[in-house]
Amino acid sequence: MTWHVLGGGSLGGLWAARLGRAGLPVQLILRNPQRLAAYRAAGGLTLVEQGAAQTYPIPAQLAADSQPIERLLLACKAYDALAAISSIETRLRPGAQVLLLQNGLGSQEQVAARVQNARCIAVSSTEGAFRQDDFRIVFAGQGQNWLGDAQTPPDWLGELTLAGIPHQWTEKMPTRLWRKFALNCAINPLTVLHDCRNGALLEHLDEIQPLCAELVELLNHAGQADAAVALYEQVLQVLQATAANLSSMQQDVRAGRRTEIDYLLGYASTCATRLQVPAPRLQQLHLRLLEHLRARGLPCA
């Protein structure tokens, strides 16, 4: 069965290259004819690992292609997910499996509501990759891919093993997603506002501690108590362990790219309002971040 990979960016490229070089059938789905032409001119996907570059001529097509899709890796940003899935929804076979790589919360629900005949499986990745150039991906950090839903594990997990893609199936995927969401809400926006690396936030614990307390309340009211346990303590651990790192949001802002704010603080603010949980610090942080993005001419959604 073919792995269709929508999006030849950082994670899409990383997954497609590893699946393809393991001899598994892979098809990239690219945005438009210009991107397809650029991809063909590049001769395939180049993956750089530990300084060594290798090009993989993975076949690519457009969303408008007619080939049915049974298994799809949706490898775009959260804000592109709904439009991207809509572009191929008529190609999805009933019962098709769709892996969702998006960070934050909200896009998974949007996609699942759009393709109700598909089995949507969320993936939470701690692997790191970035685009050095078009279709040239640098594998920057080893990690894990947590994935799962409430059903029995699919039979293709062995293909991930074959491709050397680290993964762990979990029935507690919502807990994983909410925990990562809470960690990202506590860390990423403040790294942008203080224009600093993760470790420098250890000097701003007066902001982080009450923020974590609000996030814990929010998670508890959202029925995600497991994801709320010792949140502040884990935030401290993450800040220490990743002290030299730039958060993904900080990288986006520095590069002048759109952020996934709507799927972190936007989702948190909306959720707090819907559940009637007081969250003044989260909402204030959201407004400060929006103002910061607006002042730099970056999209506010």
Interacting residues toward ligand NAP by CB under 6 A: 6-12, 29-31, 35, 75-78, 80, 83-84, 87, 101-103, 125, 128-129, 131, 248, 260
Instruction: Give the torsion through C-alpha atoms of 67, 68, 73, 79, to 10 deg.
Output: 90
d(CA 242, CA 245): 5
Q: How many other C-beta atoms lie within 10 A of the C-beta of residue 167?
A: 16
- Write b or e for each residue in 108-127: b if 16 or more Cβ atoms lie within 10 A of its Cβ, otherwise e: bebbbebbeebebbbbbbeb
Q: Between 123 and 219, name the residue whose CB sits nearer to ligand NAP.
A: 123
Return the number of the residue (111 or 216) whose C-beta is nearest ligand NAP.
111
CA-wise closest residue to 264 among 190, 204, 199:
190
Residue nearest to ligand NAP (CB): 9
Cβ proximity to ligand NAP, 141 vs 280, nearer residue? 141
- The dihedral of CA 213, 215, 220, 221: what is its sign? positive
Which tokens hold the place of 3?
Answer: 């792995």
Active site residue 172: no
Query: H helices within 194-264, ranges in order?
Result: 205-221, 225-228, 231-241, 248-254
Bridge partner residues of 52 (DSSP): 49
CB 209 to ligand NAP: min, Å = 26
CB 139 to ligand NAP: min, Å: 9
Q: Which is nearer to ligand NAP, 179 or 216 (CB)?
A: 179
- Options 4, 91, 180, 286, the catalytic residue: 180
Active site residues: 180
